[in-house]
Amino acid sequence: MLSTDNDILSAAESWRRAGRRVALATVIETWGSAPRPVGSHLVVDEDGGFLGSVSGGCVEGAVITEGLDAIVDGRPRVVEFGVADETAWRVGLSCGGRIRVFVEPVL
């Protein structure tokens, strides 16, 4: 069972209060078939521990990596995942849709 948005946001707050550096990822846009709806969250801590889901599969791993980078450099970013013939070898969505995810450090 996936954690609820409240669980994920509460974990982000709790982890931050405990002194852990964290980043929050949020699905901000979808096109076509997407595994998770707009508003879905994933929180990651500086050690790579995470809770929640923004997509699944390799996209999740790429979002966790972006979260770790955001923790280090302190800068938010928007990342996009999808499938196109010319980029089929990259991380993408096998369902044929596209998603945009906002990743931000929680300060």
Which sequence spans correspond to the domains of the chain?
Answer: 5-106
Is 88 a residue whose pLDDT tops 50? no
Residue 37: other Cβ atoms inside 10 A:
9
Tens-place pLDDT, residues 5-45 = 789 999 999 999 999 999 999 999 998 878 889 999 999 99
Query: What is the pLDDT at residue 32?
Result: 80
Tell me the DSSP string of 3-24. Answer: PPHHHHHHHHHHHHHTT--EEE
Residue 59 exposed, middle or buried by CB count within 10 Å (0-12, 13-18, 19+): buried
What is the pTM for the complete model shown?
0.85
35-66 pLDDT, tens digit per residue, is 889 999 999 999 999 999 998 777 899 999 99
Integer Cα distance of 27 and 30 in angstroms: 8
Query: What SS3 class is residue 36?
Result: coil
